Structure 1
């Protein structure tokens, strides 16, 4: 397999693993119709080649909120005064280093960044906003949207061509 080319079996492996990375190698091999040793070699090659970045557990936000407190999920638009690469890089580095920031996207047009922020409650969000936004003199505008319902959440990418 060349570094940038994936065959159908590779795509099937990626699709199956992104839906359930806890599947056994034997079950995964059966699913994609290859031998277990071949399956293991291919998954290792996909991992070593960077196609698989990491394997994680996706936690239940509802159960965590019940155990740890209500929880507050905010989608935050951030616009900077100066958009030079050093200014964008500096804000991005601070945002991605903060544990409450689950996702950080540079976007265009519109704001410079979109953040997904998970806070325990409003006072916690206020502390986060003080650290990330208020204390940064280059932050021009912040617009936060607080989630009232999560209708869909997935980490899966469509790896097969989608028919239109």
Structure 2
């Protein structure tokens, strides 16, 4: 069971995982050693999946975002596993979600420019059979982030 300090630690770390333990400890009113132990416990319990660096996509040359909605006629466990493998092999696909409704999957694809979408599309359909793919170019990102609410964590 998480307490308020655990939630504050999780919230602070997801905003900046490079924060010094001493600085974090001060924010949550703990000694550095007690704060470090809590962080370790939160990692061991699986609340902290990993620590990452968020890159500036403009600076690294992949400023374009395309969302692809996919329909498939296949829904077997074997096909889903093949699809999972196919999208895992394509680094430009940074998120994939299985959906309810008219479409089966949503892919978030990051690219150097919109013309590169065709390259990724062709590589994907070589790996797996798809029924219908509709692509949508993001004109502007209105909100992007990695911070999730910790209020619900137990």
Question: Does the alignment reach a TM-score above 0.5?
Answer: yes
Q: 2:64 aligns with which of 72, 84, 98?
A: 72
Find out whether 1:37 has 2:29 as its counterpart: no
Alignment match, 2:150: 159
How far did residue 135 of structure 1 move? 5.2
1:13 maps to which residue? Answer: 9
Q: Alignment partner of 1:109: what SS? A: coil
Q: Give structure 1 regions of 4+ aligned residues with deviation exceeding 3 angstroms.
A: none
Structure 1, unpaired ranges of 5+: none
* Aligned counterpart for 1:129 among listed residues 103, 121, 125: 121
Residue 102 of structure 1 and its aligned partner are, at CA, apart by 0.7
Shift in Å, 1:136 = 2.6
- Residue in 2 that maps onto 1:150: 141
Partner residue in 2 for 1:28: 24
What number of residue pairs does the alignment pair up?
152
Residue 91 of structure 2 aligns to a residue whose secondary structure is coil
Higher normalized contact order (CA 8 Å, seq sep 6+, divided by chain length): 2
TM, length-normalised to structure 2: 0.91
Which stretch of the first structure deviates more once superposed, 36-45 or 124-133? 124-133
Q: Is the 8 A contact 1:96 1:104 kept in 2?
A: no
- Provide the C-alpha distance between the structure 1 equivalents of 2:23 and 2:114, rounded to a whole number of angstroms: 45
Deviation at 1:133, TM superposition (A): 2.8
Aligned partners of 1:79 and 1:112 also within 8 Å: yes
Superposition RMSD on alpha carbons, in Å? 1.6
Secondary structure, in 3 states, of the residue corresponding to 2:119?
Answer: helix
Tell me how far apart the structure 1 counterparts of residues 125 and 137 of structure 2 sit (CA, whole Å): 17
CA offsets per residue over residues 104-129 of structure 1, 9 Å max, x none? 11111221111110111234211110
Q: Structure 2 regions of 5+ residues with no counterpart?
A: none
Summarize the Cα distance change of 1:87–1:81 in structure 2 as closer, same or farther, 3 Å threshold. same
Matched, 1:83 2:57: no
| Counterpart pick for 2:51 among 52, 55, 69 | 55
- Calculate the TM-score normalised by the size of structure 1: 0.85
Counterpart Cα distance in 2 of 1:122 and 1:91: 23
